Amino acid sequence: MKIGIIGIGAIGSFLVENLPAHEFVVFDVDTDKSQAAVATLSKMGLSNVRFVSSFVDLLSEKPELVVEAAAQAAVPLLLDALNQSDALVMSVGALTDDALLAKLNSTAQKSGHKLLIPSGAVGGLDVLQACRPSEVVLETRKSPKSLNRSDSEETVVFDGSARAACQTFPKNVNVAATLSLAGIGFDKTRVRIVSDPKIMQNTHTVRIKGAAGHYVFTFQNEPFLQNPATSQLAAYSALWAISKQNAAIQIG
């Protein structure tokens, strides 16, 4: 399968390394950094990746799937991608923009392509979707460094809606967006973010109350070495979604 990737940073490079049977075409606004990343991958013996200088050039290669692995600002590019291919979103927090989400949903429905969202740094989304939830609370604990802080003691840095959390910490709580889309929405899902200097793993505790029962899930994830703000599981969930050509949430 030919896969287009927007962003050849930590996760983009991880996908190329771990899916050698696929062909990759990558685009990144940071041309020098992305060309260096592709050169590094080539030195590793990976000849399945090419860099193109514009997103138009990426689409002209007619990929079967386009993966956004850059940042929230890159997600609107998937509107054009969905006209000709499936698309997978990593920066799920961008979907707090209701107008953008509606456009992506409409484009996917009209084109017959899929907008896919991997499970990211959590699991249990099948339970969340099935239990008719009335309350969803996420507590995220991360090291101060991964939150760009220098706290010497445990500090609550955010307590509010998932929508506000995704907008305030766009690189840290994509999991809040994923839970919101699977459950009761961005404004009803509650998020608490704790900077904890004692913690070694990115920890997410999800508490769900629903018609079918009450549920608590705790996920203790190893930080992604190349980007500690992201959990290793987020990268593996993208790998799984591409390998299975499926994802935890499908929109459109």
In percent, how much of the chain has pLDDT > 70?
A: 100
Query: What is the model's pLDDT at position 252?
Result: 66
Domain architecture of the chain: domains with CATH = 2-120+233-251 (3.40.50.720), 125-224 (3.30.360.10)
Query: What is the model's pLDDT at position 129?
Result: 95
Bridge partner list, 140:
193, 204
Residue among 22, 113, 204, 214 flagged as catalytic: 204
Query: What is the model's pLDDT at position 24?
Result: 96
Query: How far separated are the first and last CA of the chain, in Å rounded?
Result: 22
Query: What is the model's pLDDT at position 249?
Result: 81
pLDDT tens string 20-78:
999 999 999 998 888 888 889 988 888 899 999 999 999 999 999 999 999 999 999 99
Query: What is the model's pLDDT at position 45?
Result: 87
Neighbour order of strands in the sheet with 23-27 = 49-51, 23-27, 2-6, 65-68, 86-89, 115-117, 249-251
Least confident of 40-44, 77-81, 94-98, 218-222: 40-44
Query: What is the model's pLDDT at position 68?
Result: 98
Query: What is the model's pLDDT at position 251?
Result: 77
> How far, in Å, are 49, 79, 85, 127, 210 from residue 107 at the CA level?
28, 7, 11, 28, 32
- Range 102-121 average pLDDT: 95
250, pLDDT greater than 90:
no
Q: What is the rounded distance in angstroms from the CA atom of residue 119 to the CA atom of residue 141? A: 18
Question: Exposed, middle or buried, 211 (CB in 10 Å: 0-12/13-18/19+)?
Answer: exposed
How far, in whole angstroms, is CA 46 from its chain's centroid?
24
Least confident of 4-13, 35-44, 107-116, 167-176: 35-44
Query: What is the model's pLDDT at position 2?
Result: 97
96, pLDDT greater than 70:
yes
Confidence of residue 227 (pLDDT cuts 50, 70, 90): confident
pLDDT tens string 140-164:
999 999 899 999 999 999 999 999 9
22 tagged catalytic: no
- Range 12-25 average pLDDT: 94
171, pLDDT greater than 90:
no
